[in-house]
Amino acid sequence: GQQLNQSPQSMFIQEGEDVSMNCTSSSIFNTWLWYKQDPGEGPVLLIALYKAGELTSNGRLTAQFGITRKDSFLNISASIPSDVGIYFCAGQLDAGGTSYGKLTFGQGTILTVHP
Amino acid sequence: KAGVTQTPRYLIKTRGQQVTLSCSPISGHRSVSWYQQTPGQGLQFLFEYFSETQRNKGNFPGRFSGRQFSNSRSEMNVSTLELGDSALYLCASSWGPTLGGQPQHFGDGTRLSIL
């Protein structure tokens, strides 16, 4: 099925470093979402983007909706140990009935932060 | 505000059995989506319900079914369980009436293991 290409697959960084990850698609999305998932828990929404070119921040997190509507990135500044987890991008198409409630997810970026 | 609640958290079944999972959405949310998460396939969309009607369905066999009640609570059922059905099943809710513009919020999932 349709997939989002998320990169990198994993990152090992030192505490205090900045992190950047991105997602690309061959299809146009009208919504981009970024989630974080910790072991044994469900994904938690970090940032939601609804307009091409939109840049949104949530504390140390910043995400942008690409102007082509086919990509998005997430930046984390000054990483801390609790940033450890799996980050997922998700997009929703604007294709009528086949889009209701359906998010397409990237493969995830596993983030490890060394103190 | 209570989040999305999924029960049970863990379930062990054997091949050939059937199982029913439950999801209570965030109060006021009328759309419920279900996803299957596995290490190999990632997060895959199963189906979405709004106002007791299935509006969208992913590419899963007919053994996977669901329903939604008038209070927006939802259940999903898997019949004739196979080993490959072992996964984390996630439920997500959103406000729902329109396409896009509303983020989905996830529960912590039901971990289903098939022996």
A10 min Cα distance to partner chain B (Å): 15
pLDDT tens figures, A14-41: 999 999 999 999 989 999 999 999 999 9
Residue B64 contacts residue B44 (beta carbons within 8 Å): no
A59 touches chain B (CB under 8 A): no
Q: Which of B43, B48, B108 is closest, CB to CB, to A105?
A: B43
Contact A103 B94 (CB under 8 A): no
Rounded to whole angstroms, how far apart are CA atoms B101 and A31? 7
Return the bridge partners of A55, or none.
A64
CB A21 within 8 A of CB B81: no
**A88 contact B CB<8A:** yes
CA distance B99 to chain A (A): 6
Quote the DSSP letter at residue B26: P
How, if at all, do strands B87-94 and B74-78 pair?
unpaired
Chain B stretch 60-79, residues whose beta carbon is closer than 8 A to a beta carbon of chain A: none
Let me know: does A83 contact A111? Beta carbons within 8 Å. Answer: yes
Among B23, B34, B41, B43, pick the best mutation site for testing chain A contact (most A Cβ within 10 A).
Answer: B43
pLDDT of B21 strictly over 70: yes
A45-83, pLDDT tens digit by residue? Answer: 999 999 999 999 999 999 999 999 999 999 999 999 999
Task: Mark yes or no for CB contact A42/B109 under 8 Å.
Answer: yes
- pLDDT of residue B1 exceeding 70: no
Tokens of A106: 């990237």
- B108 three-state secondary structure: coil
> What is the spatial distance between Cα B24 and Cα B1, in angstroms, rounded to a whole number?
13
